Structure formats: structure tokens, C-alpha cells
Structure 1
Amino acid sequence: MEYILGGAAAVVAAPFVLPAMGFTAGGIAATSLAAKMMSVSAIMAGGGVPAGGAVALLQSAGAAGISAVGNAALAAGGAVAGGAVANAL
């Protein structure tokens, strides 16, 4: 049961969490967590945000929404996390 709840929570929360972090349809919001992540990513990559990196994928999801494949990945990750928390308790 915990696996199902974790998977569902991840899929339901993602459309709210991404904009709250600063990954918006209009781009990365200034002074947000997303902006800090973008800065760190660019510094680590030597000056630019790498295509296909975490920041780029999160911005894509924030701008265009999450695809069916993305939702499946979120559900799987949430299920694993839910199971891990349940086993830790």
C-alpha cells in the first residue's frame, strides 16, 4: 500500500512543486531555488547549463508539463520512496 501512495503522491505533487521551486512556463524564476540550481549547474559545467541535465529536464517539465513517460518515472520513484519510508518505520 505504501508503494501505491508514494507513487500517487509523486505524480500529484509534481505539477505544484516544480513551479514552487521556480521552474515555470515562462522560464526559471529569478531568485528561486531553480535559479540557484541553474547557477550551480552552469558553474560546474564550465559556463553553460548542460542539455539533458537535471536543471534542463526540470525546466522542460515546468514549461511544457510532464509527459506520460515522465509520470511513469515519477510514479516509480515515488513508489520506491514510499516503500523505503514504510520499511524504515
Structure 2
Amino acid sequence: MELLTFFVVAAGAGGAVVLAPIALGAAGFTAAGIAANSVAAGMMASAATASGGGVLAGSTVAVLELAGVAGLSGSATAVVAGVGGAVGWLTATAAGLIS
């Protein structure tokens, strides 16, 4: 692997890990729970309506709420880093920076 490719993948992975909690908070999945009048609140309302009044355990909303409150688990951090690295590589390849 070329050195530039290594740095592009590492930057994508690191950036994704750093930005994931920020993105969760911006969407309304905070350490204090779901923020009122946020995207997260809308998602929760829709999920509750669709399931007859509650949010199902293991649903997207439940998983994101847990990540907002407790932070990303080790395995979730690994997945985010992997996706970020792949996006970094794909972006650099599309831009012609690496081959």
C-alpha cells in the first residue's frame, strides 16, 4: 500500500470516529436522551406510531438512542472506522489522488 493511500484511509477512519458522536448529537441523540423538537424526536414518534405506541428494542431509533446516551461500543467504533476508511479511499480514488 502506498503511503498516501495509508494516510487517506487513516484520515477517513479517524475522521468518522471523531465525527460520529457529533453527528448523533446534532440529530438529537444526546447523553441526556432524545432532544425535543429534533430529528431524533421525529424518528422516535414515527417508530412509536408504527409499532403501536412503543419503540421496539433493537430498532434503529433504539440503537441510535443508546449510542447517544452511552457512546459507541467498541464494535460500533470499529464499524464506523471501517466505513470511514472506505469512504476516504473511495473519495481519494474518485478525485484521482490515488490509484
Q: Common fold, TM-score beyond 0.5?
A: yes
Gaps of 5+ in 2: 1-6
Per the alignment, do residues 75 and 29 of structure 1 end up closer, same or farther by CA in structure 2, a change over 3 Å counting? same
Count of equivalent residues: 89
- 1:82 maps to 88
Equivalent residues in 2 for 1:44-63, closer than 5 Å: 44-63=50-69
Superposition TM-score, scaled by structure 1 size:
0.83
Q: Does 1:19 align with 2:25?
A: yes
Q: Point out the structure with max Rg over C-alpha.
A: 2
Per the alignment, do residues 45 and 16 of structure 1 end up closer, same or farther by CA in structure 2, a change over 3 Å counting? same
Equivalent residues in 2 for 1:19-38, closer than 5 Å: 19-38=25-44
Deviates more, 1:33-42 or 1:5-14: 33-42
Taking the aligned partners of 1:28 and 1:5, their CA distance within structure 2 comes to: 30
Identity in percent: 47
Taking the aligned partners of 1:80 and 1:45, their CA distance within structure 2 comes to: 35
Superposition TM-score, scaled by structure 2 size:
0.76
Taking the aligned partners of 1:45 and 1:82, their CA distance within structure 2 comes to: 37
Taking the aligned partners of 2:9 and 2:46, their CA distance within structure 1 comes to: 33
Taking the aligned partners of 2:60 and 2:83, their CA distance within structure 1 comes to: 15
1:13-38, Cα deviation, whole Å (9 max, x unpaired): 12222112111122111101111122
Deviates more, 1:46-55 or 1:57-66: 46-55
- 2:46 maps to 40
CA RMSD of aligned residues (A): 1.7
